[in-house]
């Protein structure tokens, strides 16, 4: 075991700083990833997503208590990709941090948007790797929204849990197309309010259109009262067992790494292209585009040729 | 004027096929863009966005009637980026096409997701260019959702209109962070229902945090009754006048082209990287990643070096 991994497991400050380092990218991040990668692969990685107001944070807190009760170490990565311009709102993790203050078996980190599509996803993946190497048994990635960024963040999870609640407007429209397809386990939270059963029926109907050979179970919870959490944890385990037995765990990891690699290379190259546009020649090219002497397809081709 | 541009202006079939061609990308698209770019720059390009159920389609229909009443030719590009996996739901444009059937001054096209982040945005930009070259006076890009893809689609518009309605859940959460910052004109549709004035007050408060020197006006509409459309059109004109007088129109065009170029180069390179991963050497690299002998940062660096 490398010295860094050893320290990650015993020093909270090293853990916090190492996550910041991978978030910042560049050579520092690359060195960390090279050193920690052999020590990863132990953590169970869960993704939790769903619309604002669905009670995700409460549900995650209940899962933390559940896994802590089993003696497991739990880390949370709370991600808000919805604010691409203003810099991202921080989820309710201050309150949460207070709830688990003093418990060294719980670690909570929030990730703000990295400004660029793919940047947040790469940073989240790397933070999960650091937490995995640091010995956390369960890493929960909590995200808001249902955009492209979220779909790629979900890919880092072995099991993705979609939380819905009754009463968030018209069901057909509030459950965004595409998001159901990334869900391995569905949760209908606030399961005791009117409309919960109707929502379950609706979700069941939607799931009949799924081509996926794993049939996502629907778990009813009342997160504020801790109801349904045991059942949720059982379904998460069942999904993981399915992944292992079917051989899909490796397929999934491989597909996620494939997509992540493309994203990372794109990010790296985007930085180089931006630098190229930031030269006198780049400014001249933009002038020609603005005046319509040059078209974007030709300009893009020239940039690619200049890069490679 | 090139022969293609001449035909785009008189043959509807050529227009439809040319848009499909730019959607498909590649050399065909590049040729079209080279030929039409000098003929672009005439159209006023509007973006309309907002949550599902806000009444965007109805509002757009009213704007079509308004601009047709002024003798202008109007084209609509309806974009749904929310479904990145399943292929994109088509907006209610069949019904709409019937409404304007037989009016050659109206053209409606819907764009499905291109599967890749940035792909839809590039295809939308190019479709707008074709419609601009074809002589449409007004091109309206209508999008759903508030993801990254939508923000980049909004960049193609000179004036972006954000439509909100009262009663779509908690206002604070339903109006996604970031989306307000791309809005040049705000519309509170269904302005006659309870809660409309509260929503306007809320939006005004939110706008006080804006650093933008253009203060987005808030227009109350009842789109189903055609109320507020004249006022909306007047505010759109006012915003365009502001852009021209302040010199921001060129800045905006330049910034949009800058970002679009980077997106296009990334798309082009992503295709090359995917091809590289699809070789025996690529498969071997993925195997090493899955088994954790190799880390993603090193793998990404090797791919960049292999490309350039």
The C-alpha atoms of residue A48 and residue A159 are separated, in whole angstroms, by 9
* Contact (CB, 8 A) for A75 and A129: no
Q: How close, in Å, is residue B226 to chain A by CA atoms?
A: 24
Q: Are residues A98 and A216 in the same domain?
A: yes
Other Cβ atoms less than 10 A from the Cβ of B86: the count is: 16
For the whole prediction, is pTM greater than 0.95?
Answer: no
The C-alpha atoms of residue B63 and residue B41 are separated, in whole angstroms, by 21
The C-alpha atoms of residue A107 and residue A109 are separated, in whole angstroms, by 7
- Chain centre distance of CA A136: 16
- pLDDT of A88 higher than 50: no
Predicted confidence at residue A94, as pLDDT, reads 57
- Chain centre distance of CA A283: 37
The C-alpha atoms of residue B176 and residue B82 are separated, in whole angstroms, by 14
Alpha-carbon Rg for chain A, nearest whole angstrom, is 21
Residue B124: which residues within 8 A CB-CB, separation 6 or more?
B77, B79, B111, B141, B153, B156
Q: In this structure, what are the phi and psi dihedrals at residue B153, rounded to the nearest 5 degrees?
A: -65, -40
Q: Are residues A145 and A196 in the same domain?
A: yes
The C-alpha atoms of residue A78 and residue A124 are separated, in whole angstroms, by 9
- pLDDT of A111 higher than 90: no
Contact A265 B297 (CB under 8 A): no
Predicted confidence at residue B239, as pLDDT, reads 97
Q: Are residues B198 and B285 in the same domain?
A: no
Q: Are residues A176 and A302 in the same domain?
A: no
Predicted confidence at residue B173, as pLDDT, reads 47
Q: In this structure, what are the phi and psi dihedrals at residue A224, rounded to the nearest 5 degrees?
A: -60, -25
Tell me, yes or no, whether B4 lies in a domain.
no
Q: Are residues A99 and A237 in the same domain?
A: yes
Q: How close, in Å, is residue B213 to chain A by CA atoms?
A: 16
**Residue numbers of the domain that contains A283:** 261-307
**Band of the pLDDT at A145, cuts 50, 70, 90?**
low
Predicted confidence at residue A29, as pLDDT, reads 92
Q: What is the pLDDT along chain B (308 residues), one digit of tens a residue?
A: 799 999 999 999 999 999 999 988 888 999 999 999 999 999 999 999 888 788 888 999 999 999 999 999 999 998 876 544 333 344 455 567 678 888 889 999 988 765 555 677 888 999 999 999 999 999 999 987 555 566 667 778 999 999 999 887 544 445 665 667 788 999 999 999 988 999 999 888 888 766 678 999 999 999 999 999 999 999 999 999 999 999 999 999 999 999 899 888 888 888 888 898 999 999 999 999 999 999 999 999 999 888 76
The model's pLDDT over A49-69, given as tens digits with 9 standing for 90+, comes to: 888 788 888 999 999 999 999
Tell me, yes or no, whether A282 lies in a domain.
yes
Higher per-residue pLDDT: A160 or A269: A160
Closest by Cβ to B262, choosing from A33, A273, A292 = A273
The C-alpha atoms of residue A114 and residue A83 are separated, in whole angstroms, by 10
Predicted confidence at residue B5, as pLDDT, reads 97
CATH code for the domain of B94: 3.40.50.300
The model's pLDDT over A232-249, given as tens digits with 9 standing for 90+, comes to: 999 999 999 999 999 999
Predicted confidence at residue A93, as pLDDT, reads 56
The model's pLDDT over A16-51, given as tens digits with 9 standing for 90+, comes to: 999 999 988 888 999 999 999 999 999 999 999 888
Of all residues in chain A, the percent with pLDDT exceeding 70 is 85
**Band of the pLDDT at A86, cuts 50, 70, 90?**
very low
Q: Are residues B166 and B104 in the same domain?
A: yes
Mutate: best of B114, B266, B283, B301, partner A, most A CBs <10 A? B266
Residues of B in contact with A81 (CB under 8 A): 148
Q: Are residues B185 and B229 in the same domain?
A: yes
CA-based torsion, B137, B65, B121, B35: positive or negative: negative
Predicted confidence at residue A154, as pLDDT, reads 72
Closest Cα in chain A to B53: A173
Tell me, yes or no, whether B9 lies in a domain.
no
Tell me, yes or no, whether A131 lies in a domain.
yes
Number of domains in chain A: 2
Pick from A148, A301, A119: nearest CA to B265 = A301
């Amino acid at each position: 075991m490398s010295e860094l991994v050893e320290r990650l497991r015993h020093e909270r400050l090293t853990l916090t700083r190492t996550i910041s380092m991978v978030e910042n990218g560049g050579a520092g991040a690359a060195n960390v990833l090279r050193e920690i990668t052999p020590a990863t692969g132990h953590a169970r990685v869960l993704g939790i997503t769903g619309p604002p107001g669905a009670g995700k944070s409460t549900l995650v807190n209940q899962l933390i208590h559940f896994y802590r009760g089993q003696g497991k170490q739990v880390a949370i990565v709370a991600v808000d990709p919805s604010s691409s311009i203003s810099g991202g709102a921080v989820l309710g993790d201050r309150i949460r941090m207070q709830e688990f203050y003093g418990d060294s078996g719980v670690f909570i980190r929030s990730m703000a948007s990295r400004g660029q599509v793919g940047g947040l996803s790469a940073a989240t993946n790397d933070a999960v790797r650091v937490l995995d190497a640091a010995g956390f048994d369960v890493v929960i990635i909590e995200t808001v929204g249902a955009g492209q960024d979220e779909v790629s963040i979900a890919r880092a999870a072995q099991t993705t849990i979609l939380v819905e609640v009754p009463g968030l407007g018209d069901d057909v429209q509030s459950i965004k197309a595409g998001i159901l397809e990334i869900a391995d386990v569905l949760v209908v939270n606030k399961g005791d309010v009117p409309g919960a059963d109707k929502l379950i029926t609706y979700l069941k109907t939607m799931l009949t259109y799924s081509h996926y050979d794993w049939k996502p179970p629907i778990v009813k919870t009342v997160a504020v009262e801790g109801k349904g959490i045991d059942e949720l944890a059982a379904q998460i385990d069942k999904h993981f067992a399915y992944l292992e037995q079917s051989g899909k765990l490796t397929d999934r990891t491989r597909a996620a790494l494939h997509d992540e690699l493309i994203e990372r290379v794109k990010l790296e190259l985007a930085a180089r292209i931006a630098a190229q546009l930031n030269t006198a020649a780049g400014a001249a090219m933009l002038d020609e585009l603005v005046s319509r002497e040059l078209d974007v397809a030709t300009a893009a081709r020239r940039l690619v040729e200049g890069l490679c």
